[in-house]
Chains A and B, each alone.
Chain A
C-alpha cells in the first residue's frame, strides 16, 4: 500500500493505517474493483488545497494577529465592501452587530450574532476573501482580520491576540443557537394528512397581492405580462425588503414604474433580448472592440483584447462599457484623461480626491505607474488591489481602458 501523508489534524488518524486498503470501506462503500486510475496526491499538493479548519480549530496555521493590526489590515482589504467598522456597505454583508435580533423580523446575521463557530470565519476569510483577490492574504493577516471582526462584535478586548492557542478562548454567542433539521419530527406527519378534495372552504378572499408591493424587475416577461400590474408602487419597495433595499435599488426603483412616461422606453429596451443583462455583458466586449477599432486607428485590437482578459481581475469592483455603473470602484469609461477622484456619484478616498486636486490626471503614463503598485503610488487610496505584476498586463489593460473613452 502507498504510504499516507499526514497533512493536518483531520488526517492524523491515518498514522500507521496504510495497509487497510483491502478491508477499509467495506462496511461503508460497496465492494468495487479498483481501476488503477489517478495518481497518488503528493503531500505538498494536499497541503496547498486542504485549507479547511474544523470547528475545534484543527487545521489552523501557525501565526497570530492582534486587533489593532487587524484594524489596519481590515481597512485596507475589507472596508471597501464591509465598512470601516464591519457594518457593511450597500448590500455587502454586515460582519458586526445584530445581537438580539434573531427572533425578530429581518434578523441581522453577523459573525457576532449568528455564526456558531469561529473556525468558519478564519476558514472563509483565508480561502475566499477579499472578493476578487482570494488567497492573497498572509495567515497572520487573516488572524488579524478575524481578531478585528471579533473586536467589532465586542467579543474580545482591544489587546486580544488571535492564534491557534487563543482560538478556543473565544465564545461565540450563538454557538447553541442551532438544531439539526427536525422537519421529520415537526412537519412530515402533519404535512402527510390526506388532503380535502371537495367543498374544502366556503369562500376565498385575496389577502395579499404582489402588484401592491411589486418589486418584479420591469423586464420580467413579455409586454402582455407586464400589464396586469402596471400600477406598481415602486416607492413601497423599500418597505417590502427593508434589508435588501439599498441606495442602488432605490435608485432603480425610482425608474422602475412603467406607468411613468420616461421609464417606458427603457422598459421596451429591456424586454428585447439584447438588453437582457447577460447577453448585454456578452456583447459588450465585441461592441467595445469594434468601437475602439473605429475610433482609434492607433489602438492595437489584439492588445485591447488581451486587456479585456486582464480586466477580469478588475471587474469584481469596476464596470466598463455601455450601461456601466459605479460599484465598489468607479465606472472606468473615460478614465483616461480624467482628473483623479472626480467622477460624479462615486465616493472616493480623501487620498484620491487630494491627488486630483493636486493635478493628478489619468494618462497612459500615470495609469501604468498606478496599476503596477496602487498602494505605493497613491498612499491611502481605497483600491484594495495588489497591482499588476507583469508589465504586459499593464500595457494591455491600459489599452483596453483607452478603447473605452
Chain B
C-alpha cells in the first residue's frame, strides 16, 4: 500500500512556511514540547527554593541547551541587569577590587566545556528504586560550553597574599549561597563565566555571571556571583555544613566532598523513552562523566551484568565533561536489564549501588554515583529497578 504521505501532495510541500522573523529567538518546534524541565513537587517546601530536572531521556549529543538545563535555586532566580552587576574581590589581597560587567569582558577569556552535576543527583534513590525516569533519577546535570575569565586572572589582578589559602564565593541573590573553595582549585581551573553555549547565561543559570568549578558539585558554581573573598580558612557556611555533607551509617559525616565521581546512565531506552519501534536494530545510548578527569570507557550490559560489552564513545572523553556513548544492537523482544558502567582516566570504575551502600550506609543524600538498572519488558517499556 503506497504511503499517502509520499503519494499525495502535502500542505507543507505546496503552501509556504513561516517567514524569517516569525520567532526572533526561537523555541523548539511544537512537536518537541514534551522535552522540558520537570520538578518533583514533594521534594521541597516551595518552588522558589527547589530544583527541577533536565529531560536527559530526550536529548542526544553532549551539550545541554540552556532552556531545558536543570535549575536549582535557594532563593529564586533573580533578574539582575549587567549595568547593576558588581563583582568584588576582597580579603587577603593586596588591592580589594570592584569589577563591572564591562570590566569582565575586557580580560582575556577562555572557552571550556564542563558538566555541572548537583551533589543530590540520584539522591532520592539511596534507599532503593523510587523514581521512574532518567530525567528524575539522573536529571540534575547539564553540560555546557562556557566562555569566561579564568578565576586566577581576576585573583592575580587583586594580588593574592601568601596567607590566603581559600576563597569564599557568594551570589547576589537573597540566599547568597556562599561556599568556600581551596585556593588551589580556584587557581587551577575555575572561571567566571558570562556565556554558555555561545549565548548570554540565562537568568536561571546566573545571568550575567556565574562561577564555574569544573568537576565539583554544582552548589559551588555560585550564580549571580558578586563576591570573592580570599581567606585563610573555610567559612563553614550553611551550604557546606548543614547541607552538602554526607552522613555515614555510624552517624559521622563527611564534609568537603566536592568532587563528583565517575558516573553514567543509559538515557534511551529508559522509562520515559521506551522502545516503540518493534524488533530489529536498536540504538542504546547514554552519557558518562567524571569530576576527576576524562571518561576513558563505558561498558554496557543487557542482561543485568552477566556479560558486558564496550560501548562506542561518540568522541574521546574530555576533561570533566559529558561523554556520549552508544551501543548499536539488535533487539528481538527479549527482556533486558540495561546497565552502564563508566571508567575515568584515573582508573576509577563506577561502583554498584550495593558497593556504595556497603561503604556509606543508606543515610546519605548526596554523591550517589551507583550503576543504574532499567528493566525493559517485551513491549519495550522500561522501569527503574534494582537487581541482585
Q: Which residues of A contact B (CB under 8 A)?
A: 1-2, 4-5, 7, 10-11, 13-14, 17-18, 20-21, 24-25, 27-32, 34-35, 37-41, 45-46, 49-50, 52-55, 81, 90-92, 102-107, 109, 111, 114-117, 119-120, 123-124, 127-128, 131-132, 134-135, 177-183, 186-188, 190-193, 195-211, 213-217, 219-222, 224-225, 227-229, 237, 240-241, 244-246, 248-249, 252-253, 271-273, 276-279, 315-316, 327-328
Contacts and interface: CB of A to CB of B under 8 A. Distances in A.
B348 interface: yes
Contacts of A225: 133, 271-274
B96 A40 contact: yes
A13 B92 contact: yes
B92 to A, nearest CB: 7
A37 B237 contact: no
Given A49-B227, A279-B36, A41 B90 contact: yes
A179 B388 contact: no
12 contacts: A4-B95, A102-B247, A104-B363, A120-B237, A123-B237, A131-B75, A192-B349, A195-B308, A200-B305, A204-B387, A205-B387, A249-B41
Across the A-B interface, give the 3 residue pairs with the lowest CB-CB distance, nearest first: A221-B272, A103-B251, A273-B33
B7 interface: no
A109 B241 CA distance: 11
B132 A211 contact: yes
A200 to B, nearest CB: 6
B332 interface: no
Contacts of A90: 45
B92 A14 contact: yes
A17 B92 CA distance: 10
B328 interface: no
Contacts of A178: 241, 245, 252-255
B283 interface: no
Interface of B: 30, 33-34, 36-49, 52, 57, 74-76, 88-100, 103, 106-107, 124, 127-133, 135-136, 152-153, 155-157, 159-164, 168, 170, 174-176, 178, 183-184, 187, 226-227, 229, 231-238, 241-242, 245, 247, 249-259, 261, 271-274, 276, 299, 303-309, 337, 341, 346-351, 355, 359, 362-363, 375, 377, 381-388
Contacts of A37: 99, 103, 106-107, 157
Contacts of B245: 178
B272 A34 contact: no
Contacts of B387: 204-207
Nearest to A232: B132
Given A24-B162, A191-B348, A221-B271, A120 B359 contact: no
A308 B242 CA distance: 35
Given A128-B176, A195-B308, A315-B48, A179 B168 contact: no
Contacts of A191: 261, 348-351, 355
A14 B306 CA distance: 62
Quick one: which of B164, B305, B383 has the most chain A CB within 10 A? B383
A248 B258 CA distance: 33
Nearest to A209: B385
Given A52-B229, A216-B271, 10 more contacts: A28-B184, A37-B106, A92-B45, A180-B254, A205-B388, A210-B271, A228-B381, A228-B382, A229-B271, A276-B38
A191 B350 CA distance: 7
Contact of A241 (B42, B76, B346, B349): B42
Contacts of B30: 273
Nearest to B310: A197
A25 B159 contact: yes
B238 A179 contact: no
Contact of B106 (A4, A35, A134): A35
Contact of B131 (A10, A128, A207, A216): A216
B94 A4 contact: yes
Nearest to A278: B37
A25 B160 contact: yes
B133 A198 contact: no
Contacts of A127: 176, 178
Given A54-B233, A206-B387, A199 B306 contact: yes
A204 B303 contact: yes
Contacts of B44: 91
Contacts of B42: 91, 215, 237, 241, 244-246, 248-249, 252-253
Nearest to A25: B160
A221 B252 contact: no
A204 B91 contact: no
A107 B363 contact: yes
A204 B34 contact: no
Contacts of A252: 41-42
B121 to A, nearest CB: 16
A227 B381 contact: yes
Contact of B337 (A20, A204, A227): A204
B337 A25 contact: no
A35 B107 contact: yes
A336 B60 CA distance: 49
A271 B257 CA distance: 37
Contacts of B36: 273, 276, 278-279
A369 to B, nearest CB: 27
Quick one: which of A55, A103, A111, A246 has the most chain B CB within 10 A? A103
Given A28-B183, A34-B156, A195-B349, A46 B90 contact: yes
A41 B245 CA distance: 34
Contacts of A187: 351, 359
B153 A209 contact: no
Contacts of A14: 92, 161
A50 B377 contact: no
A124 B237 contact: yes
A196 B99 contact: no
B162 A229 contact: no
A22 to B, nearest CB: 9
Nearest to B90: A46
A35 B305 contact: no
Given A11-B90, A107-B363, A116-B241, A28 B187 contact: yes
A228 to B, nearest CB: 4
Quick one: which of B34, B136, B307, B347 has the most chain A CB within 10 A? B34
B337 A193 contact: no
Contacts of B305: 200-201, 204
B108 to A, nearest CB: 8
Contacts of B257: 181, 183
Given A20-B94, A105-B362, A221-B34, A209 B272 contact: no
